[in-house]
Structure 1
Amino acid sequence: MDGLKLHDLRCFDAVATQGSFQAAAGVLHRTHPSVFAAVARLEQQLGLTLFDRGGYRVSLTEEGRLFHGRAQLALRDFEHLQDYAGQLASGEETVLRIVVGDVCPRPKVLGLLSRFFAERPRTRLHLDYEAVSGPVERLMDGEADLVFHRANPSDPHLERIDINEVAFVPVVAPGFLPFDLGPDITPEAMRPFTQCVIRDTARKPSPENFFIIDGAHSCSVPDHMMKKELVLHGLAWGHLPQWLIADELRDGRLVSIAGRHIPGRMETVAAVRRRDKPHGPVAEALWLHLRVEGAL
């Protein structure tokens, strides 16, 4: 196997695919004798007879058929390696690291990303999920190129494109509360009942209080889908994004308890990146794509 040439493998693949040395020579823009010699050299190096040359058209032997399958994989890997090297040489990113936060309206954001990456198959999307203060921490620690989450608009280290307004609604399952529902329910009245909250995934959690009632028993979950299930099953109450529970509110499986004492909250979800860090050409193209197609 020493000295195996890529050229010989390509000639072998062309003959196997095209069915003749002449056709392979035409596809490769080589002469018939050079293709014939390349295949013969490969057979000699491998110690295998790859083609049956006894008929009108050459055909693969059983060994040739098995070897051809592996050879095609090797040639494909080499082409990917060449593309990868060219991408590195051009400065184009091979991976973009994006974090989707817990408040993010996923259908809209995933649609934006799908349309962008469909036109850039050479750059791989590495997508992660973080909650509460986790997304911005990942961004500031250099572990993400872009996050979709809430962010402090006055932070000079960050720039943002507002993507969506998300209303958070305090909800319960029917029959969860032993008293009549109305706009005057107070935090004190809700204190005896288990409140479901999202766990902060940050290594250094934020001290900010997101809807938590002091003194109430709480249970924590990793995301809003799990939180929704707990509330639906009457295990807790909590604030949920309206886009996630629109059907349940409409058909009565969930009931809003929003009022003047527990008003809910409006959050702005934005695409957020570091202002003080350089961005590659694919990241810049994605930023422009979000500014054109995703901005409020």
Structure 2
Amino acid sequence: MLKSTLEQWRMFKAVVDAGGFNQAASLVHKSQSSIHHAVHKLEHALGVKLFDNNGRNVKLSSQGELMYRRASFLLSEAQKLEAVASSLQSGTESLLRIAVDSIFPAALLYKVLNKVSSDFPLLRIELEETVLSGANSLLDSGDVDISISPFIYSAGFSEDLCEVEFIAVAHCTHPLHALGRPLTLEDLKSHRQIVVRDSSVERKVDAGWLGAEQRWTVSHIRTSVDIISQGLGFAWLPTLMIQKHLEEGTLLPLPFDNNVGLRKALLYLTFHDGDGLGPAARAFIGELRYQTMQCTTEPSLGSDFLPSLPPT
């Protein structure tokens, strides 16, 4: 027979997370005395001292630190269990929320969404376009059910999905193309680089070469493409997104040696817990995997997915 309850562990975790019994009372909407009673009863039942006496400050004991980690896991699993039950009870979900990094090929995404909508005509889909850690940040906060992200999601499930090829480009009239020789990264330092801002609330990730003395930072990769197309800088851009510009010759790859101008970013399919996903979410994942595999036999959505690029 269990000596403790989930509610007691929830009270204990609330005290730690809030930094005290008074603060925990506001967090869980309980009286301070009821929280004191729950934690004291938990300590008595287990024979473990969870907090050290430290005046008015709440400080975990060494045993309490271990129990806190275990309690956090226990409560998280309990929430997942209830989510699974809710999914089973409701059947097909009415809303699917997806965060997709803006470098993921749009045409492929629309094809997947169209198939899912055809199979689930009453399904509403909310799509969040993100940059860098933004997709997983939304997943972490519970604002989306599934994300396509350039970062592994450590708190849940992550699966390699595809690689997206980037190429360093500038407008055909840009001074870098007038040098008439292979470029080095040193050549780029005196020219304006266009970079895209991390869309997560923390905005904690920078990616790519950032050595230019002058940078313009924008919020969406399509803005970067537009700026580059006006001859106002250079950037590494997804090959798929600028294919038409490359074919027309308005944008040209920067002439580096040794493929310095080519880069690849791996994208991951991520979500919290597969058991908690409904039929529509599972259908989206299955169709996404299928369509991605159809694009190329290699895990890449770059040159293998496209017509041959014109010579640089």
TM-score computed with the length of structure 2 as normaliser: 0.59
Task: Give the alignment of 1:66-215 within 5 angstroms.
Answer: 90-152=90-152, 155=154, 157-160=156-159, 162=161, 164-177=162-175, 179-183=178-182, 185-213=183-211
The number of aligned residues is 206
Q: 1:250 and 1:181, CA in 2 relative to 1: closer, same or farther beyond 3 A?
A: farther
Gaps of 5+ in 2: 1-86, 294-298, 300-312
Bigger radius of gyration among the two: 1
* CA RMSD in angstroms, aligned pairs only: 2.5
Is the 8 Å Cα contact of residues 102 and 149 (structure 1) preserved in structure 2?
A: no
Partner in structure 2 of residue 218 of structure 1 = 215
Match for 1:242: what amino acid? T
Give the Å deviation of 1:267: 1.7
Q: Please give the alpha-carbon distance, in whole angstroms, between the structure 2 residues aligned to 1:246 and 1:182.
A: 24
What are the superposed Cα offsets for residues 230-268 of structure 1, whole Å, 9 maximum, x if unpaired?
Answer: 111111110111011122222321111143384331123
Secondary structure at the residue paired with 2:226?
Answer: helix
Conserved 8 A contact 1:167-1:264:
yes
**Do residues 239 (structure 1) and 233 (structure 2) align?**
no
Within the candidate set 236, 239, 246, 1:249 is matched to 246
**CA 1:176–1:293 in structure 2 vs 1: closer, same or farther (change >3 Å)?**
closer
Partner SS state of residue 239, structure 1 = strand
1:182/1:104 Cα in 2 relative to 1: closer, same or farther (>3 Å)? farther
Query: In 2, are the aligned partners of 1:159 and 1:275 still within 8 Å (CA)?
Result: no
Q: Confirm or deny: 8 A CA contact 1:187 1:261 kept in the other structure.
A: no
The 1:180/1:124 distance shift into structure 2, 3 A limit, reads: same
**Quick check: 2:116–2:280 contact (8 Å CA) kept in 1?**
no
Residue aligning to 2:280: 282
Q: Secondary structure at the match of 1:160?
A: strand
User: Are 1:150 and 1:269, in contact at CA under 8 Å, matched by a contact in 2?
Assistant: yes
- Percent identical pairs in the alignment equals 22
CA drift of 1:122 comes to 1.9
| In 2: Cα distance, 1:181 partner to 1:101 partner | 36
Q: Which amino acid aligns with 2:243?
A: A
Distance in 1, matches of 2:278 and 2:260, equals 44
In structure 1, distance between residues paired with 2:283 and 2:171: 44
In the alignment, the residues of structure 2 paired with residue 129 and residue 181 of structure 1 have an alpha-carbon distance, to the nearest angstrom, of: 38
When structure 1 is superposed on structure 2, of 220-229 and 231-240 the one drifting more is 220-229
Query: What is the CA distance between 1:127 and its match in structure 2?
Result: 1.1
Structure 2 distance, partners of 1:267, 1:151, is 10
> Unmatched 5+ residue regions in structure 1?
1-86
Contact conserved, 1:112 with 1:294, CA < 8 A, in 2? no
1:103–1:150 contact (8 Å) kept in structure 2: no
TM-score (structure 1 length as normaliser):
0.62
For the 8 Å contact 2:139–2:271, the answer to whether it is kept is yes
What SS class does the counterpart of residue 243 from structure 1 fall into? coil
